[in-house]
Each structure stands twice: as structure tokens, then as C-alpha cells.
Structure 1
Amino acid sequence: MAHERIDVDLPLAKVYEYLSDPTYFPHFFERIDHVNKVNSQTFEFATQMGGKDYQWTTNIIDNLRNTRFAWITINGNLNQTGTIRFTPLDNGERTRVDFSLDYRTFFGEPEEELAEFIQALPAQMKKDLQRFKEEAEADTFKQNADDTLEEIEAADEAEEEEAAA
């Protein structure tokens, strides 16, 4: 399990808006390739390690607006749980983010690439949250996340057209 804390120079409501929507995660989490929203509570995650695809579906288990956001894996070949806690600083002008994230296999010991992925989680999470902070504070986060979403949607459409041909 990894736990990181970062202070963001943005109001709590804005930070919560960004971090309580897992579809934004691939934009700043380098090791998550894609998140698809199934419904308001369910999200499908995907990544690739060592040439192997990992996919898992999560459900939101706690969503207390501007306070806490948490999810847990309900199926897939990678088990992920996460909790984000939000604390207002300086009368709500800044926000402290406490982020906990854990990956596990469902059965047995992980293969080498996955074991390395899990072992590197704390250092990677620190980099990912710093990237989030920089882009959110520069007000480029939402724009860049929307651009990434458009690229993913275009790739999905191209795959569908290719499959139909």
C-alpha cells in the first residue's frame, strides 16, 4: 500500500471535482492506461505490464462530497483499492490531499512485472500526485484531461469501425 500527501493551491471543491472522477486518473496516473465509466458508481480500469493486459472493475464505496472518496475492485485480474481524503487549508483556499492506493493479485504471488509494479507504487504515486498538482494549479488539468478523453474516444471509434469492416 502507498500513501502520499500533497497540498494543492486550489479551493477544496475544485480539487474534489478533479479527484472524485476516476475517468481523469489516466491523465496524471502514469500507470493507468484507461478508465471507462460504466455508471455513476462503477468504473473499468485497464493497464498493461510486461505485455500482459490487466483489467479490473471498481465500485465507489464512499463518496462524501469535499471530504472523502473511496473505491474497491469488484472483479478483474488486478485488485485495486483507493481512498482520497480532502482537508481544507487557509479557509478553503488550498487543499490537502491524502491519497492511499493498494494493488494486489486475487490469487497467489504476483508475476515479476506485477510485483515490480506494486513495489514501485509509493515512488510512482508521489510523481503522479506532483503532476496532478502542477497541472491543476496551472489550470491546464481539465483541458488536458478533456483532450486525453477525446483521444481515447477517437481510438475507441476507430477500433469499432475496424471491427465492423
Structure 2
Amino acid sequence: MAHERIEVDLPLAKVYELLCNPVHFTKFLERIDDVEKVNSQTFDYTTTIGGEEFQWTTNIIDNLRNTRFAWITINGNLNQTGTIRFTPLDSGKRTRVDFTLDYRTFFGEAEEDLAAFIEELPVQLKKDLQTFKDLAESDTFKDEESSSEKVASEVA
């Protein structure tokens, strides 16, 4: 499990808007290859670890506007849970983001590549949140295409 905190120089409502849609996670979570929306509460994730593709489906379990956003895995070959908490700073001009992310296997001990993926999560999450901050504060977050958007534009 990893827990990281970062302060973003944007109002809380804006930061919440950028982080409350898992489809946008591929813009800053480097190790997630694709996220597709199934419905308003359900999302399919894909990543490759050590040459093996992992897929899982999550459900949003908590979406308290401008306060907290959380999800759990409901099926797949990798178990991911996450919680994002939002705290206004400086009379709402800035926002603290607390991001907790966890990966586990559904089946006993993880193989070497997956074990390394899980073990490296704290360092990776810190890097990913800095990427989010940089994109959000430079107002280029929405300009970044997710991998599914890139594929769709390349096919068209």
C-alpha cells in the first residue's frame, strides 16, 4: 500500500474535477496502460507487468464531491483499491491531495515482476502525483490524451 500527499496550487473544486474520473488516471499514473468507462460507477483497467497483461474492473464506492473519491476492484487478475481525499488550503486557493493506492493479488504470493510492481508503488505514486501537479498547474491536464483517446484518434 502507498499513501502520498501533495499540495496543488489550484482551487479544490478544480482539483476534484480532474481527479474524480478514473479514465483520466492514465494521464498521470504511469503504470496504468488503459482505463475504460463501463458505466457511471464501473471502470475497466489494463496494465502490463513483466510481459503479462493484467485486467481488472473497479466500482466507485465513495464519491463525496470535493471531499473524497474511492474505488475497489470487483473482478480481474489484479486487485486495486484507492482513495483520494481533498482538503482546501489557503482559503480554498490551494488543495492538499491525499492519495492512497493498493495492489494485491487474488491468488497467493505474487510472482517476481508483480511483487516488484507492488513493492515499488510508494516511489511510483510520489512520482505520479508530481506529474499530476505539473499537468494540473500548467493547465495542460485536459490537453494530455489518455491512451484510449490516442488510439481512437489514430484509428480515425
2:149 counterpart residue number: 150
1:163 counterpart residue number: none
Aligned-pair CA distance for 1:154:
3.6
Aligned-residue identity in percent: 71
- In structure 1, stretches of 5+ residues that fail to align are 159-165
Letter in 2 for 1:112: E
TM-superposition CA deviations, 1:45-92 (whole Å, max 9, x none)? 000011100000000000000000000000000000000000000111
What is the alpha-carbon distance in structure 2 between the residues aligned to residue 96 and residue 130 of structure 1?
12
What is the alpha-carbon distance in structure 1 between the residues aligned to residue 151 and residue 65 of structure 2?
28
Letter in 2 for 1:99: F
Sort the Cα spacing of 1:88 and 1:117 in 2 relative to 1 into closer, same or farther, 3 A: same
1:104 counterpart residue number: 104
What is the alpha-carbon distance in structure 2 between the residues aligned to residue 35 and residue 149 of structure 1?
8
Asked whether the equivalents of residues 16 and 66 of structure 2 are also in contact (C-alpha less than 8 Å), the reply is yes
1:124 aligns with 2:130: no
What is the alpha-carbon distance in structure 1 between the residues aligned to residue 103 and residue 41 of structure 2?
20
Runs of 4+ with >6 A deviation: none
Alignment of 1:1-40 (within 5 A): 1-40=1-40
Aligned-pair CA distance for 1:149:
4.7
What is the alpha-carbon distance in structure 1 between the residues aligned to residue 107 and residue 54 of structure 2?
14
Asked whether the equivalents of residues 87 and 96 of structure 2 are also in contact (C-alpha less than 8 Å), the reply is yes
By relative contact order (CA 8 Å, sep 6+), the higher-ranking structure is 2
1:66 counterpart residue number: 66
TM-score computed with the length of structure 1 as normaliser: 0.91
- Asked which structure has the greater CA Rg, the reply is 1
Asked whether the equivalents of residues 35 and 148 of structure 2 are also in contact (C-alpha less than 8 Å), the reply is no
1:83 counterpart residue number: 83
Sort the Cα spacing of 1:86 and 1:145 in 2 relative to 1 into closer, same or farther, 3 A: farther
Q: Counting helix residues as a fraction of each chain, which structure ranks higher? A: 1
SS of residue matched to 2:63: strand
RMSD: 1.3
- In structure 2, stretches of 5+ residues that fail to align are none
Letter in 1 for 2:89: L
Letter in 1 for 2:96: R
What is the alpha-carbon distance in structure 1 between the residues aligned to residue 100 and residue 140 of structure 2?
24
Letter in 1 for 2:37: K
TM-score computed with the length of structure 2 as normaliser: 0.96
